[in-house]
Chains A and B, each alone.
Chain A
Amino acid sequence: MSTIAAQPYTYVKNWKERTGGRVFGYFCSYFPEELLHAAGVLPMRILGDKENVALADSHIQAFICSLVRTSLDAALKKKLEFLDGVVFPHSCDSIQNLADIWRYNFPEQFSDVVVLPVWVDVPEAEQYLAQEISRFKSKFERHLGRQIAGAELSKSLDIYNENRSALAALYALRRDKPNAISGQTVLDIVKASMYMRKEDHTALLQEALEELRSVPRDDDQSVRLVLYGNVCDDPGIMHLFEELEAVVVDDDLCTGSRYFLHIEPSDGDPIRRLAQRYLRKIPCPSKHSSDFDRRTYLVNMVRQSKADGVVILLLKFCDPHAFDYPDISKRLTEDQIPHLLIETEIQPASIEQTRTRLQAFVEMLKEKKNG
């Protein structure tokens, strides 16, 4: 799975050749990809590009996050030509406008936006989202020239839930035995699930879980970290943890647990279930919720995973996260949880400064831990 995570496009292109199936790109953890799956389409998450921006500069200003900038750049460089469609959820302002820019520049490509509500925990949001999903479904069906049966969608929901349970099991195992698996591998596994048909991924993951279960528990005294933030797709940073002998025990990342946590009840109208799933998942900061308190959620995660500190990884120019950060930091301080903010970009930058800061942070935690 690490190979797939490192070379996702190669995997996807091979899949396409092997099966003759279609592939759609999507953004964020909010697109109801189950619908694509139900129609036999492979949903593939677009997570930016590691190359420096060249062509997107004449469409997107430099003060927009690099996920948005490099993704459009990859498309303009024709790196994503193997995609049969690109779909967007409504999440942040930048993704919202990217959708319009994309659709204007690639008019031939099938594309649509599922405009999710921003307020996720009012009853009227569910009604609205169910209608919006149905609207997309009809358009998608017209494009495919075939209907998606309720039973097909239900089946996909079950397949997705199974995958989510398996990923949740992986996280539980890691909390228990963080030395058994590296932080990088865990993120690779989650990432691979964004490029594979979920049933294929679940099968591989089950094997990995079996192996992990047999690894003995080792009571070592490594510094235990929780990762918090948006996208973390930089192996450079993950390797630093290993280098510094700190273990990652849990995360609240949009390329980590926020992608898969929350599993829906397994009966009822599939469209409703789908709407519920995206409204009840752990909300991303771009969503508004009256009841969910991200600060408490994070503190609880730290307590439950017996972490020593939190590393906050924020992509530069990400408004939703940047607005939440000060109060999160304040709360962690009040609860005496050490934390470190690291600003990231999608394109790998020099890691030296990060290494120095992370090293100091981990050293401090070590001292604190071992007295």
Chain B
Amino acid sequence: MGERRSPRIHAGSRMKEMMSTYYLGAKNAADNNQKVAWITSGGPVELLIAMDVIPVYPENHGAMCGVTRMGPELCEIAENMGYSRDLCSYARCDIGSAVTGKSPIMGLPKPDFLLCCNNICGTVTKWYEVLARLFDVPLVFIDAPFIHDEMTEGSVEYVKSQLRRGIKQMESILGKKFDMDRFSEVAMLSGEASSMWGETLALCKNIPAPMSAFDGFILMAPIVTLRGTREVLDFYETLQKELKERVREGVAAVPGEKYRLLWDNLPIWFKMRDLSEKFIDLSACMVASTYLNAWARYDLSGSDPVDAIARAYASAFVNESILHRAKLMRDIVEGYSVDGVIFHSNRSCRPYSLGQYDIKEMLTEWTGVPGLIVEADMNDERVYSEGPVMTRIEAFIETLKPRREARV
């Protein structure tokens, strides 16, 4: 057995600094006369940045709570308030943290208003309704109709009207005018960041992959929280440089990489390290994840920013049919030379998980690549049983052997 850690990615420390500065800024917003809005991870943050509002992401905060293993404690607080144990554990953690101020960073700064876009799930609609009542603050809501077949022009128009409505609402909340030129600029930056993120991920098409999805889950924080700002571009540029260097030198994220895997759904935050080590032991590299790729899909080119934002956000990864998702996964399987797919059937996230059985079948039929479904939860350790998950992963990798050997 070789090294049990991936070689360190140096850009990581730069990211830590960036994120601390960002959270500190958010915490001190009131003192600095700045407004804070809580926003969903798939929300059009460009609106906020263009208005100099500090965006705060309960989902990113939720991930922090998960990684630091505070999930169960925070969930229980919400459960004692009557929130069912079956609800999304991000929502439970967030509600638990919002009412007690508990979290690895002592809670999030209170919002001046909320921005919710339901392009990721119906859960956020309900969760933000709860927050709006809890904090008694305005809710800017953007309803992005789900796409079962094709995005209709009627739907784009609908989203655009709401964006315009949202802009007006923000103008009245903040008492200042919305600057379209600034918005255009921010949307452009955001689009650039998204494609840079995509390019960064694509470096993992190289064999061996210079980075694993486990690194990606950490390094994604800026694209999720700070897209639309310049520093994000600089950051991913640095990261890309480092990874390209690795590719040139043949440095592998997983030393002795033998198997290449695709991860579907959110990470299991509280098990990141154990799982990452497990895969290193198995010489398997998680070369891609649908979750990471979700932020690489915002095409924000085009001259009318409202139109571009409407189209990009309405066609978010989890806002389209499972058939569409399966096709994107096929592209990843082919483009990244994937040997097997691991589906995290995430109890918390019904829209992302329901349909995985059929997607698995489609993928195997189209590409011959097998899949494994493991039951877990991104934040709630109480529903996770380690033994069976690890055993099944081992057994699955074992079945990949003959195929892999035939290929080499």
Contacts and interface: CB of A to CB of B under 8 A. Distances in A.
21 contacts: A60-B354, A61-B356, A93-B121, A100-B321, A113-B146, A118-B143, A119-B162, A124-B165, A127-B157, A131-B152, A132-B152, A132-B154, A288-B129, A317-B86, A319-B87, A319-B350, A320-B122, A323-B91, A323-B127, A325-B84, A327-B133
A96 B362 CA distance: 19
Given A92-B122, A327-B130, A97 B141 contact: no
Interface in A128-144: 128, 131-132, 135
A124 B126 contact: no
A132 B151 CA distance: 11
Given A132-B145, A325-B84, 12 more contacts: A90-B146, A93-B123, A101-B355, A115-B146, A119-B162, A124-B157, A127-B157, A135-B152, A319-B87, A319-B123, A322-B86, A329-B82
A124 B161 contact: yes
Interface in B98-153: 118, 121-123, 125-127, 129-130, 133, 141, 143, 145-148, 152
* Chain A: number of interface residues, binned into ranges: 35 or more
Interface of B: 81-84, 86-88, 91, 118, 121-123, 125-127, 129-130, 133, 141, 143, 145-148, 152, 154-155, 157-158, 161-162, 165, 321-323, 345, 347, 350-351, 353-358, 362, 375
B155 A128 contact: yes
Contacts of B157: 124, 127-128
B86 A61 contact: no
Interface of A: 58-61, 63-64, 90, 92-94, 96-101, 103-105, 113, 115, 117-119, 122, 124-125, 127-128, 131-132, 135, 285-286, 288, 290, 316-317, 319-320, 322-327, 329-330
B11 to A, nearest CB: 35
B317 to A, nearest CB: 14
A93 B162 contact: no
Nearest to A128: B158
A205 to B, nearest CB: 34
In the A-B complex, the 4 residue pairs with the closest CB atoms: A326-B82, A323-B126, A131-B154, A128-B158
A320 B126 contact: yes
Nearest to A64: B354
A288 B121 CA distance: 13
Contacts of A98: 354
B146 A323 contact: no
A64 B165 CA distance: 35
A92 B146 CA distance: 11
B75 to A, nearest CB: 13
Given A323-B83, A323-B129, A93 B351 contact: yes
Contacts of A63: 86, 347, 350, 353
A97 B350 contact: yes
Nearest to B153: A131
Contacts of A124: 157-158, 161-162, 165
A285 B84 CA distance: 15
Nearest to A329: B82
A92 B82 CA distance: 21
B126 A113 contact: no
Contacts of A64: 350, 354
B384 to A, nearest CB: 13
Contacts of A122: 161-162, 165
A125 B322 contact: no
B322 A319 contact: no
Contacts of B130: 323, 326-327
Contact of B357 (A58, A90, A319): A58
Contacts of B143: 117-119, 125, 288
Nearest to A102: B358
Nearest to B319: A96
Contact of A59 (B87, B122, B347, B358): B358
Given A104-B323, A327-B130, A286 B122 contact: yes
A329 B81 CA distance: 10
Contacts of A93: 121-123, 350-351, 354
Contacts of A323: 83, 87, 91, 123, 126-127, 129-130
Nearest to B81: A326
A288 B158 contact: no
Nearest to B144: A118
A315 B82 CA distance: 15
A100 B123 contact: no
Nearest to A116: B145
B364 to A, nearest CB: 13
Given A118-B125, A122-B162, A327-B130, A97 B155 contact: no
B393 to A, nearest CB: 18
Contacts of A104: 322-323, 358, 362
Given A63-B86, A122-B165, A131-B152, A324 B126 contact: yes
Nearest to B375: A61
B82 A325 contact: yes
Contacts of A94: 350, 354
Contacts of B129: 288, 323-324
Contact of A90 (B81, B145, B353): B145
B358 A101 contact: yes
A97 to B, nearest CB: 4
A320 B125 CA distance: 9
B293 to A, nearest CB: 19
